[in-house]
Chain A
Amino acid sequence: MVTLGFGRGQKYLSLRWSYVEWLPPPGRRMWAVEPPQVSPAAVDPLGAELIQQGIASLKVLIVDDSVSMRMIVKRTLRQAGFEGLSFTEAGDGAEALEQIRKSAPELVLSDWNMPKMSGLELLKALRAENLPVKFGFVTTEGSADMRALAKQNGAQFLIAKPFTPESFERALRPVIG
């Protein structure tokens, strides 16, 4: 699997892809010499560190009906120091559910109020299907009642809009390490 990252982490991940292409098919020897053994740390110490932290290869699905807000969430994640994540996006809960079934992201950051299927309906659908993806809300619905409802249905955290990079840092570090 290839995961596109940002910044220096991408360099290492591209090399991994090259390595996969060099592997000969079963029963055939295509190379006279062994493919080079590339140490991630030798190529890119930061990339290796991110991999070790479990951050570089983390697939994040951002669900929001506002295109701008999806962009702002990505920007804020970078500002909070979460570089090297790979992002996919969905404009509502129904679209997100399809994507999660197909590509199994590790983390979903979802708005609450959306057309077609709300964030809460999405979360309930995921739990009903036993899809164990980590899930957090990024929403204007920040009241104590809504936070309790989110937690009761299996959300790991709720970040209230408007937010700061520190909001993401506080909410996400305990979840993704």
Chain B
Amino acid sequence: MSRFVLPEGYQLRHHFEMLFGNGVAVHAGDKLGADAPFCGIYRDDAKAPVGLCLCDMSFAAYAGAALSMMMPGDAKLAAQKGPLPEVMRANLYEVMNILSSLLMNEHTPHLKLVELCSPPALDASIKAIAKNPEAHMSFKVELPRYGAGQITFALT
């Protein structure tokens, strides 16, 4: 059993609506693995990896663009053809950073986002968490004006 907590869909929607505005839809999604294009790594205060936020290219582009209200057309182009522009990547990092608060409560240890990686840069310990997490939850997130993407939280 994980020492941390997984977000409920309504909590995720609430967070996203504060970031992106009303109209965000959150549904159950398919589990993403270590081959997901982007992986946010959360570490505890002892610097050990304790959680991951994995997402597909669509979520990365749409969330990365929506945070600073970039053009939806640019986001769609990045989602379909890549690569993810640096500003969208920086915004995706900030979104994953903000989501860290959903993995903690008053009874859990502290964690924070320390890295945003792509598959070639993932070491074995991170891949192991993605493959066999203690707890995981996956969502399909639809951002108004942009589109839908997949996101998975995996915890030790």
Write the residues of chain A forming the contact surface with B, with a CB cutoff of 8 angstroms: 66-69, 71-72, 113, 140-145, 160-164
Q: Is the CB of B98 within 8 A of A162?
A: yes
- Binding stretch for chain A, among B49-57, B88-96, B148-156: B88-96
- Please give me the residue from chain B that is nearest to A67 by CB atom: B90
Partner of A66, one of B94, B104, B106: B94
CA distance A164 to B17 in the complex (A): 10
Q: Is the CB of B106 within 8 A of A140?
A: no
List of A residues within 8 angstroms of B90 by Cβ = 66-68
CA distance A66 to B86 in the complex (A): 12
CB of B122 closer than 8 Å to a CB of A: no
Q: Is the CB of B106 within 8 A of A72?
A: no
CA distance A68 to B63 in the complex (A): 12
> Knowing A66-B91, A66-B93 touch, does A162 contact B18 (C-beta < 8 A)?
yes
Q: Is the CB of B97 within 8 A of A140?
A: yes
Interface positions of B from 15 to 32, Cβ below 8 Å from A: 15, 18-19
List of A residues within 8 angstroms of B104 by Cβ = 143
Q: Is the CB of A162 within 8 A of B15?
A: yes
Q: Is the CB of A143 within 8 A of B110?
A: yes
List of B residues within 8 angstroms of A69 by Cβ = 94
How far in angstroms is the closest Cβ of chain A from B77?
A: 19
List of B residues within 8 angstroms of A140 by Cβ = 97-98, 100-101, 112
- Please give me the residue from chain B that is nearest to A71 by CB atom: B68
CA distance A68 to B64 in the complex (A): 10
Q: Is the CB of B91 within 8 A of A68?
A: yes
CB of B137 closer than 8 Å to a CB of A: no
Q: List 5 A-B contacts (CB under 8 A).
A: A67-B87, A68-B94, A143-B104, A143-B110, A145-B110
A-B contact sample (16 more), CB < 8 A, given A143-B106, A162-B18 = A66-B91, A66-B93, A66-B97, A67-B87, A68-B67, A68-B91, A69-B94, A72-B68, A140-B97, A140-B98, A140-B112, A141-B112, A145-B110, A162-B15, A162-B19, A164-B18
CA distance A160 to B90 in the complex (A): 20
List of B residues within 8 angstroms of A68 by Cβ = 67-68, 87, 90-91, 94
CA distance A65 to B18 in the complex (A): 20
Pick from B91, B100, B101, B106 the residue with the most CB of A within 10 Å. B101
Q: Is the CB of B98 within 8 A of A161?
A: yes
List of A residues within 8 angstroms of B67 by Cβ = 68, 72
- Please give me the residue from chain B that is nearest to A160 by CB atom: B101
- Please give me the residue from chain B that is nearest to A112 by CB atom: B112
- Please give me the residue from chain B that is nearest to A69 by CB atom: B94
How far in angstroms is the closest Cβ of chain B from A149?
A: 11
